[in-house]
Structure 1
Amino acid sequence: MTGEAPPPFEPLSIAACAAVAARLRAEGRRVVFTNGVFDLLHPGHVRYLQAARAEGDALIVAVNSDRSVRGNKGPDRPVTPERERAELIAALACVDAVTIFDEPTPAAVIVAVQPDVLVKGADWAADAIVGRETVEARGGRVVRVTIEPGWSTTTILERIRGAS
């Protein structure tokens, strides 16, 4: 052991994720894509990502930027900054690549990555899943994964606020 700290985490650009996906497809591997906030990482997140990865050979995850989260969830979110959330997701064995996106939806990332499988939680209505048309137009599929009951960042935050 050298005692040296590892270099700081750097999420991939969207273009770099697209290149990773293209390389994986050229190797004959099925690329799975999902996105989310992943604030206050908990077992529900981990199990969701493991289920997503089980749908293919490699998992690319797009993490909502802080600005995107504030626009979608309000000014008090996220608790954990975007780069830290992305670093935690990237450290999971089931995840192959991570990027951060700034838009309200991951539509542009999905167009760039062109995944074979798009995964979202079963709490999303099938016709409301952003990127569905993009994936299905190229012969891919959309999978809705059951959300682990009892795990929710919002619920965790409510418990913390109630205890103070």
Structure 2
Amino acid sequence: MIIKDKIYLREELNKILKQNRQQDETIVFTNGCFDILHVGHTRYLTEARSKGDLLIVGLNNDSSVKALKGEKRPIVPEEERAEMLANLEVVDYVTIFSETTAKNTINILQPDIYVKGGDYKIEDLPEAEVVAKYGGEIELVSEVKGASTTNIVKQILNRY
């Protein structure tokens, strides 16, 4: 089941967010590949959602995941990854983007808070300049050590 009322093109989503902004809701945005959903993802998304009233997840499309992670990825196609994210209670909206960074998506949506995992440094984020330009905030949330799609794939290969 695809939850169409939670998955939008970023331009459509931007129109929807105007109403949330009029109600002074804090809009939080994060992004990633979310290839094989795991506890690191769900804890990260829960913590990101706690930063505001609304959580938007920018999802790398299949070609951008391939560019970032290699030819064998993603394992799960973008439509299915988007559906899984949309089915999470903490996620309000999902938008799929084709670039390897979320700079264009952030520039269009201009969230109040941009969240990334604690394994990043703000000064190293390619999106930081865009967020600073429109006056948004960047927050880093806790990293769940060892929880990654790459580690899950390695465990599967080792066991089977």
TM-score by length of 2: 0.93
One-letter code of the match for 2:59?
Answer: V
Output one character per residue of 1:18-49: Cα deviation in whole Å (capped at 9) or x when no partner: 12222211111000000000011011101100
Aligned pairs (5 A) from 1:45-84: 45-84=41-80
One-letter code of the match for 1:55?
Answer: K
Q: In 1, distance between residues paired with 2:18 and 2:124?
A: 26
Aligned pairs (5 A) from 1:137-148: 137-148=133-144
**Unaligned 5+ runs, structure 1:** 1-5
Aligned residues: 158
Q: In 1, distance between residues paired with 2:15 and 2:46?
A: 23
What is the Cα deviation at residue 145 of structure 1?
0.9
Q: Which residue does the alignment assign to 1:23?
A: 19
Q: In 2, distance between residues paired with 1:47 and 1:22?
A: 28
Q: Considering only CA atoms, is the larger Rg found in Structure 1 or Structure 2?
A: 1
Provide runs of 4+ in structure 1 moved above 3 Å. none
Do 1:34 and 1:118's aligned partners in 2 also have CA atoms closer than 8 Å? yes
Output one character per residue of 1:83-106: Cα deviation in whole Å (capped at 9) or x when no partner: 100110011111111011111111
What is the alpha-carbon root mean square deviation over aligned residues?
1.3
Q: Which residue does the alignment assign to 2:8?
A: 12
One-letter code of the match for 1:163?
Answer: R
Q: How much identity, in percent, do the aligned residues show?
A: 41
Aligned pairs (5 A) from 1:78-157: 78-157=74-153
One-letter code of the match for 1:99?
Answer: T
Do 1:21 and 1:115's aligned partners in 2 also have CA atoms closer than 8 Å? no
Task: Decide which of 29, 32, 37 is 1:36's aligned counterpart.
Answer: 32
TM-score by length of 1: 0.91
